[in-house]
Structures are given as C-alpha cells and as structure tokens.
Structure 1
Amino acid sequence: MTPKALLVLGLWYFFSFVTLFLNKYILTTLKAEAVFFATVQMLITTFMGWVNIHFPMGMYKPIKREGSAKPPNFYRNMLVVGSTRFLVVFLGLLALKYVAVSFTETIKSSAPIFTVFISRLLLGEKNGIFVQMSLLPIMSGLALCSAYELGFHIYGFLAALGTNVSECLQFVFSKLCISSDKNKTTPAEFQFYTCLASLFLQAPVCIVLMDWSAAATTSNHLLLLMMINGLSYHFQTMMAWVLMSFVSPVTHSVCNTVKRAILIWLSVLVFGNPITFLSGLGTCIVTLGVFSYNKAREYEQKKRDLMVKYGTGNGASSQL
C-alpha cells in the first residue's frame, strides 16, 4: 500500500470505531429515538457529501466530464445503492438496540457468504472449490456464536443479518461504479446521491414509525452528539469509498475483516459485554474463516489471470 492508502485505511478504522460506539451509546444509554437518529445521521451525511463535491479536501481527484453528463445508468445505480444504504443504517441501528456491539460485528463478519451468492446472482461470478470450502468455518463459527451468545435476541439477529446482506449488495454496486471506467463516479458524488436517494426512501418510514413526541423532546446535548455521529459516519463511508480506488477488492475485503475483528474485541473491552467461551470461540472461527476465504479468493484470481495470460480462459468479467 502507498502512504496515502495507509492514511485512508487508518482514518477508516478510526471513524468506524467512533461511529459504532456513538451509535451504541446514543441508542442504549441516552435512549434516543432510533428513526429520528437515523434521519439526522443521513441528513448530515448528505450535506457533507454535497460539500465534498465542491471541496474535495484532497480525498480524491475530480472527474472532468463534458457539460453535466453523467456516466451510463448513473441515477439508477445511485437509487440502488441508496436503497441499500437506507437498509444498512436503519437495520444497523435496530440491531444495536437489541444486541451487543460484539455480536453485531460478528454477524457482519460473515459477509463473504452473502458476497459469494450475490456476486453469482448479479454478476454471474463463479467461485472454485477452495472459496466454497472456506465458507464452512464462517457458517459454523457464526452458528456457534449465535447459539451461545448471552444477549441473543431474534430481532437483533435478523436486523444484523439484514444489514449484512444490504452491505454486500452495496459493496458489489459501489466497487463497479467507483472503479470501472465506464461507470466512473467520484466518492463524493457517490456519497451525496446515494444519501439523497436514501433520504427519499426514509421519509415515509419517518412518518409512520417515528415517535414524534420523543423526537420533539430531544435535548440539545443529545442532538449535538447525533450531529457529531453524522459527521463521523460521513467520513467513515467516504474513507471506504476512497480506499476502493487505491486497493483491489481482495485487499479491501482483508482490511474490512481486520477492522471487524478489532471492533469486536474493542467492544468487549469498552462495554464489558459478557461472553461465553463458546461464543468467543465462534467469533475466532468466523474471523479465521474470513481470512481463509480471502486467501482462497486471491489464489483463484491468480489462477484465472494465468489462464487468461496463456490463452486457456476467456477472462470475461461482468459489468453493470
């Protein structure tokens, strides 16, 4: 990695830590109204995305286009990713309301399982035997962790699982939009337009589900913390988009796995979440399984590259 990529990686880890623990503190300790909290978070992120379009702050290089032309299927892609962003934020906060941070992050660590199936369905991407075998420890570790989690709650588990699927869908579309020449989009454009689409979808949810009386009595102190959280979430996601332009998907996946592992154990230390031996063992198995998955993906990618180089494969790839 280049020094700039390492800086972006460090900032991504830092803002992920701040956002996650502010989420938990605001929801469980300060008892914030969850839908209102999600709306404030997305409003701040949308505004900051607009700011970064006009002021990149050294995070990316603006793309020169003729007139106001956008890449092919730009608004469709923004709507798709915006829909997944809405689900990631809403279900993520719902999960934290019911279960521990460490358990939520363990569920999210199983992302490779869903990435394999989503990539197959949407992109037609096939995986070899090594990748498929690496999914076994992830699934078994996740089952072990869930079965022996002291604070297990079915709503929290389903919300965390839904967050995971939504995040995987978001990753598949995001990588293609940011990295491919055909659909090239800047991180700031991605941030602003997907958040705008997310807010559009969030509006009816606010009207129906928000506890308006609780939202109206939100203190200035709590509102300030929500705004700080929104800023942190903005920079967390911006750093993730920027990192995608520096590294390969495999490297990005490894970095994300390391981040999950760090957040799991930091949450245990900070919040003092009680865990059983088998639950902790399940977390370790999931983490090791994800590392095995990444290594298997790397091996199979090298194998495909060699086949293309020596004319024994077609090397075709799918695009949006």
Structure 2
Amino acid sequence: MDTEIVDRNQEETSIVKPAPHVHKVHHENGIANEMMLHKPNGPMRRQPSKDDKEKLGLMNVRAFSFLVLWYIFSFCTLFLNKYILATLQGEPALLGAMQMVMTTIFGFLQMYLPLGMYTPVDRDGKPANFWRNMILVGTMRFSTVVLGLVALKFVAVSFTETVKSSAPLFTVFISRVLVGELTGLYTFLSLIPIMGGLALCSAYELSFNIQGFIAAMATNLTECLQNVYSKLLISGEKYRYTPAELQFYTSIASVIVQIPACFFMIDLQGAKNSLDMTMLTALIVNGIFFHFQSITAYVLMSYISPVTHSVANTVKRAFLIWLSVIVFGNPVTFLSGLGTLTVTIGVLIYTKAKEHDHIQREHRDQYALSNTDTKIV
C-alpha cells in the first residue's frame, strides 16, 4: 500500500509541477557553459547586452547627439590647428603638448563633473595592467596628435583627409585581431564607396609631399589602433572605464611620454619667441576644443562598434571639407560634389549591409544552438 501511495503522489506532482526545460548554451570561447531555465509560463527576461546597445547604434538619440557634438568640436579644433600652424607659425609638438595638458586638466574635472555625458562609477581600486593600458593608449594619443599636426604643416587639410579615407579598412583588420570582431562580406564591401567618396571630396586640392604623406599614413594607423583599443577598454566585461577616466589617465600618460620628446622635437627658442598673448590664447582655446572633441568621441564609442565609429569618422572628414568650403570660400568642384554624394550613399548602404550581416549571424547562431540542443537530447 505504501508503494501505491508513493506512486500516486509522484504522478500528481508530475501533473501539477512540470519540470523546467534545461538548455546548455555554449559560449564562443568554448570554455564556460551556462544553464538557462525557461519557465512554462513564458520566456526568461534577458538583460540588454552590449551587442543590443551596438545594434541600436546611431539610432539612439544620445549617440546621435554626441555624434553631432563630436563633429562640431572637431571642426573647431581642426581649423584652429591650421590657424596656429600656418598663420601664427606655431610648433606642432608644442601644440600637441598643450592639447594633452588641457585634456588632462579638463579630464580630471569631468571625473567629478560628468555634465550628463556618462554615469559616474564608484571604484574600489584599479584593475590589473591599469597603467600599462593607460601608457599604451596615451602614447598612441600623443603620436596621433603630433603626427597629424606634422602632416597638417606639410600638406593641405584635404590631402591628409584623403590619405585617412582608408581608415575603415584599417579598422576592420585591427578589430579582427584585437577584439575578434567579425565584419560581414556585405558590410566590408559597403566600405568601398565611403572611402572612395572621401577621396573624391578632397581630390581637387591634392598636394603631395613625402614627409606629409608618411605622417598622414602613420596618423591613420595609430588613430585606428587607439580607437579599437579604447573601445576594448570602455566596453570591458570586468572593468569598464568611463569616458572621463580614459580621457584623464591616458592624457597623464601622454604628458609623461611627451616630456622627453619635447626636448628633441620642439625648437624651444623659436617657441619662446612666438609665445605672445595671441598664441597663448589660441593654444588654450584649441586645447579646450580638443578636450571636448576627444571625450565626445569616447562617449560615442560606448554606443557603436569600432568599424561604425571609423565610418562616422570618415563622414566627419567629408563634413569638415564642406565646412571649409562654406567658411573659407574654397572652390567647389564636380569631384567634391560627386564624392559627397558617394559618401552619403555609401553610409546608407553600410547601414543596410550591417543590418543584413547581423541578421545572418543571428540565424547562424540559432542554427548552431538548435543543433547543439538536438545532440544533448
């Protein structure tokens, strides 16, 4: 009789409370396995992931707002750079050093005054390899600034931008190596009209100089490395740097790196002779604009992927060329108009191509997951 009672109880339990379905989800690294429980009354609620945030990308209102701010501050910085170097005959290394000093000061202030750019985080300590990461990014920041200013001194703005039009291609390969980000075939092909369009935009003012060309190519490479590595730090799983932290600590590291470099790169006597009130004011204002250009770029980076950031940077360059046409009255040619149209079409194609590749990747992941579940059962 006891056995019959036990059997009856087990049957009632199995009817009233069915067992949940258990699925094993295999992570991409093939090391850890996670158990996910699906309740019979509905699917488990999932927290928004970094991939979801990047999928929304520039459709996010805050992301688009910081994109616009980034463009505005970049315009102000670029043409103040040209004014200081070409009109005031300033030293590129001194200008770069002043920019890093100003980003250090304002980066420190923004760690305590976020100004709505990010959410402050209470820290218990610093992660492993903290200063190594900061020195790496700081060195790349300093190199990008100085090399870009050297290029600007030897060649026209448009020539530098033409050389930098290959940045999305550099970013695709660097992202694959450092972050493991796979770029779909259609997304990769959509970069071609964007890069070609920027080259056409600036083709009317090409001026070749070997020193300027080498500096522009080196700037391109270091900037792509800096952006991808910064994205790795700002979107980390265990320790996520805030934009102000990344701005402040990398600026300190950059200042430390550039102190010995200044003795070799700066004509101290010439810099002293040119440092009047006009030059000092221009350097300070330029440094403020450069700080806000950098921190808005870091904030934007937390919303989009490195490749999308590089595409946005390419569009920014075309935008700056057209602003130079409006502000300085540079001549407009057929090639510049065709280039702008090509960049615009390329960006629209890139958006659709990225969406298409993302859907295909999700289908492949679901198919792989269903095959895994079948093998387990």
The correspondence for 1:65, drawn from 123, 128, 139, is 123
Residues 102 and 268 of structure 1 are in contact (CA less than 8 Å); yes or no, is this contact kept in structure 2? no
Residues 235 and 302 of structure 2 are in contact (CA less than 8 Å); yes or no, is this contact kept in structure 1? yes
> Any residues of structure 2 matched to 1:10-89 within 5 Å, and which?
10-66=68-124, 69-89=125-145
2:224 corresponds in structure 1 to: 168
From the superposition, tell whether residues 71 and 189 of structure 1 become closer, same or farther in structure 2 (CA, over 3 Å).
Answer: same
From the superposition, tell whether residues 251 and 141 of structure 1 become closer, same or farther in structure 2 (CA, over 3 Å).
Answer: closer
Q: Distance in 1 between matches of 2:347 and 2:163?
A: 12
Gaps of 5+ in 2: 1-58, 372-377
What whole-Å deviation, never above 9, does each CA across 1:5-54 have from its counterpart, x for those lacking one?
34323222211111111111111111111111111111111111111112
Residues 247 and 295 of structure 2 are in contact (CA less than 8 Å); yes or no, is this contact kept in structure 1? yes
Q: Distance in 1 between matches of 2:332 and 2:208?
A: 11
Residues 228 and 306 of structure 2 are in contact (CA less than 8 Å); yes or no, is this contact kept in structure 1? no
Q: What is the Cα-based RMSD across aligned positions, in Å? A: 2.9
TM-superposed deviation, 1:160:
1.7
Q: Between Structure 1 and Structure 2, how many residues are aligned?
A: 312
The correspondence for 1:235, drawn from 274, 292, 309, is 292
Amino acid of the residue matched to residue 161 of structure 2?
E
Structure with greater contact order relative to length (CA < 8 Å, sep ≥ 6): 1
> Any residues of structure 2 matched to 1:128-167 within 5 Å, and which?
128-137=184-193, 149-167=205-223
TM-superposed deviation, 1:106:
3.1
Give secondary structure in 1 for the equivalent of 2:252: helix
What whole-Å deviation, never above 9, does each CA across 1:167-213 have from its counterpart, x for those lacking one?
11111111121122323001111001111111122122210121111
The correspondence for 2:269, drawn from 213, 225, 230, is 213
Percent identical residues: 57
Residues 82 and 197 of structure 1 are in contact (CA less than 8 Å); yes or no, is this contact kept in structure 2? yes
TM-superposed deviation, 1:142:
7.0
Larger radius of gyration between Structure 1 and Structure 2: 2
Q: TM-score, normalised by structure 1?
A: 0.85
Q: Distance in 1 between matches of 2:149 and 2:82?
A: 8
TM-superposed deviation, 1:70:
1.5
Q: Distance in 2 between matches of 1:227 and 1:200?
A: 20
Gaps of 5+ in 1: 315-320
Residues 141 and 282 of structure 1 are in contact (CA less than 8 Å); yes or no, is this contact kept in structure 2? yes
1:191 aligns with 2:247: yes
From the superposition, tell whether residues 5 and 133 of structure 1 become closer, same or farther in structure 2 (CA, over 3 Å).
Answer: closer
TM-superposed deviation, 1:299:
2.7
Give secondary structure in 2 for the equivalent of 1:109: helix
Q: Distance in 1 between matches of 2:266 and 2:348?
A: 40
From the superposition, tell whether residues 116 and 254 of structure 1 become closer, same or farther in structure 2 (CA, over 3 Å).
Answer: closer
The correspondence for 1:113, drawn from 169, 177, 200, is 169
Q: Distance in 2 between matches of 1:197 and 1:282?
A: 39
Give secondary structure in 1 for the equivalent of 2:90: coil
Q: Distance in 2 between matches of 1:151 and 1:300?
A: 38
